[in-house]
Amino acid sequence: MDYTTLEAYPLTSEELEILNYESYFENSPILSFKKFTNLPWEKTQEISQNFKLLKKVIKFEDFSINEIYDVIFYDAFGSHAQPELWTYNCMKKCNNLIAPNGVWVSYCAKGSVRRDLETIGFEVSRLPGPPGKREMLRAIKV
C-alpha cells in the first residue's frame, strides 16, 4: 500500500503534547499516533514491508502529483466550515486523481456534493454513516 496524506495546518509539537492522544489507546498499534506524528513530512517512509506512507503539508487545492490512487478518503471538515473544499472543481480534481474503478469515500452526505460527483462521472451510493451520522457517500469512478 502506498498511502499519501495531506494536511494544510499541522499541529505543533506543543499542541500534540497537550493533546496526549496516545493515552486513549490501551494497545500500541504498529504505527502509534506518536510515531505517526514524528515521521518527517514530504518524505516517503517505509512503515512495514507492504506499507509506505507519504505525509505532505499542502492544501488539497494546491496538491498535484504524477500518480493516481485507488482510494481517496476525503476527510475534510464539512461544507458549513470549509465550503471551498466541496466545490465542483474539488470533486473534479478527485476524479482526476482516481484510477478507473477507484473509490472516493467521505462522511459527507450533502445533496449538492452527491449531484456534482454524479455529473463528473462517479457512480455514487449513499451508505449508512458512522455513529451520529445517518448517511455517508461512496463514489466509484466508472
Q: Binding of ligand SAM at residue 75 (CB under 6 A)?
A: yes
Stretch that binds ligand SAM, among 30-38, 41-49, 74-82, 97-105 (CB under 6 A): 74-82
* Order of all β-strands in the sheet with 45-48: 2-7, 51-57, 45-48
- Residue 28 is placed in which grid cell? 500500541
**Of 67 and 123, CB closest to ligand SAM:** 67
Q: Binding of ligand SAM at residue 25 (CB under 6 A)?
A: no
Q: Is 78 helix (H, G, I), strand (E, B) or coil?
A: coil
User: Residue 15: in which H helix or E strand, if any?
Assistant: helix 13-19
Q: Binding of ligand SAM at residue 72 (CB under 6 A)?
A: no
Stretch that binds ligand SAM, among 34-42, 54-62, 87-95, 127-135 (CB under 6 A): 54-62
Q: Binding of ligand SAM at residue 60 (CB under 6 A)?
A: yes
Q: Binding of ligand SAM at residue 3 (CB under 6 A)?
A: no
Residue with cell 505532505: 56
